[in-house]
C-alpha cells in the first residue's frame, strides 16, 4: 500500500540534494578564486628569485675572475665586461657594468647587473675589495678582548690542573 505523502518526500529530498550541490559548487568557486591568484603570484615570485640568484652567481664568477688578474689586465677586463651567453638567454637584455673604485674605504671592484623586468627595480650589485686598508694593531684587537691566536691564561690553567690530577 502506497502512502499519498511518499512521492512528496522524494521530491523534497531531491530539492535538498540540488541545494547542497549548489552550495558545494559555490564554496569550491570561492576557494578557487582565492587559490589560483596565490599560485600564480607564487610562481612569479619563484621566477624572480631564480633570476636574482642567477644574476648574483654571474657577478660572483666575474668578480672571482677579475680579482685573480694583475692590475693592468683587470682594468681592461672591466671595460670589456659582457654577460655570459647562458645568463643572456635567461635574463633578457642583461647588461653588466663594472667600476674600479679607490677611495678612503680601499680599492674595490663594483659590478652591477641589470636586465628587463617589471617595475623599475635596482640592479643586482656585488662589491669585492682588492686591497683592503690595513688595520692597525690597535684596531685589530682591543685590550679588553683576548686575541684568538694566543691561548687564554684562564683556559690554560684547568688543563694543567687536570694533568697534575691524572699523575
The predicted-structure confidence for 81-131, as pLDDT tens digits, reads as follows 999 999 999 998 999 999 999 888 788 999 999 999 888 899 999 999 987
User: Which pLDDT score, from 0 to 100, does residue 15 have?
Assistant: 73
- The gap between the terminal CA atoms of the chain, to the nearest Å, is 107
6 Rama sector, left if φ>0, alpha if ψ -120 to 50, beta otherwise: alpha
**Mean pLDDT over the full length of the chain:** 80
CA 31 to chain centre: 31
pLDDT band at residue 153 under the 50/70/90 scheme = very low
Q: Parse the chain into domains and list their residue ranges.
A: 46-137
CB atoms within 10 A of CB 59: 24
- Give the C-alpha separation, 165 to 22, whole Å: 84
Inform me whether the pLDDT recorded for 37 exceeds 80: yes
Inform me whether the pLDDT recorded for 150 exceeds 80: no
- Give the C-alpha separation, 43 to 49, whole Å: 10
User: Which pLDDT score, from 0 to 100, does residue 114 have?
Assistant: 94
| DSSP β-bridge partners for residue 100 | 109
Half-sphere exposure of 155 (CA within 13 A, CB side): 7
Inform me whether the pLDDT recorded for 143 exceeds 60: no
Inform me whether the pLDDT recorded for 158 exceeds 50: no
User: Which pLDDT score, from 0 to 100, does residue 103 have?
Assistant: 84
Are 150 and 126 contacting, i.e. CB atoms less than 8 angstroms apart? no
pLDDT band at residue 12 under the 50/70/90 scheme = low
Amino acid at each position: 500500500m502506497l502512502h499519498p505523502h511518499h512521492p512528496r518526500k522524494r521530491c523534497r529530498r531531491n530539492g535538498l540534494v540540488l541545494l547542497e550541490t549548489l552550495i558545494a559548487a559555490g564554496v569550491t568557486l570561492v576557494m578557487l578564486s582565492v587559490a589560483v591568484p596565490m599560485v600564480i603570484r607564487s610562481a612569479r615570485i619563484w621566477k624572480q628569485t631564480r633570476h636574482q640568484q642567477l644574476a648574483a652567481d654571474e657577478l660572483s664568477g666575474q668578480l672571482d675572475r677579475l680579482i685573480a688578474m694583475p692590475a693592468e689586465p683587470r682594468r681592461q677586463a672591466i671595460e670589456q665586461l659582457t654577460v655570459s651567453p647562458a645568463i643572456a638567454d635567461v635574463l633578457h637584455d642583461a647588461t653588466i657594468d663594472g667600476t674600479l673604485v679607490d677611495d678612503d674605504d680601499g680599492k674595490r671592484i663594483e659590478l652591477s647587473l641589470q636586465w628587463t623586468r617589471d617595475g623599475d627595480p635596482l640592479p643586482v650589485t656585488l662589491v669585492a675589495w682588492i686591497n683592503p686598508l690595513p688595520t692597525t694593531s690597535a684596531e685589530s684587537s682591543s685590550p679588553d678582548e683576548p686575541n684568538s691566536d694566543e691561548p687564554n691564561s684562564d683556559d690554560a690553567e684547568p688543563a694543567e690542573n687536570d694533568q697534575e690530577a691524572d699523575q
